Amino acid sequence: MLLAVAAFAGFFSVGFGAYAEHGLRPRVSSETFRFLMTAVRYNQVHALAAAVAGALLLGAPEVDGVLLQLAGWGFVLGMGLFSGSIYLSALLDRAGLTKLAPVGGTVLMLAWLCLAGVGVTSAL
């Protein structure tokens, strides 16, 4: 399931990136557009990271599945909070929604630490 969710997140990031470039750019400030492009970039990078975690869960039984699940789903949750709050803020013109972005960023950092834990435990 993680792989499918990650793939959808990647699909969405490309679609929203195109929409932001061609549909939102003329309607938002340059600062908001810069925030949107950061959100798209984070969305794309972490969709790929979650997809890798999902693929490893399917084909590498020797890895630490618990930590890998935490990493993968952490990437998904972090994307939703970080990128999603910025997307919604721009779409709904509600700057307050971006207050969730730092929470999402923290979740993404924790997901990377979980993935590092997978690497460490697999090396032992």
Q: Confirm if 75 and 118 have CB atoms less than 8 A apart.
A: no
Distance CA 15, CA 13 (A): 5
What's the whole-model pTM score? 0.93
For residue 75, give both structure tokens: 């990437």
**pLDDT digit string, tens, across residues 97-119:** 999 999 999 999 999 999 999 99
| pLDDT of 63 higher than 90 | no
Query: In this predicted structure, what is the pLDDT of residue 30?
Result: 95
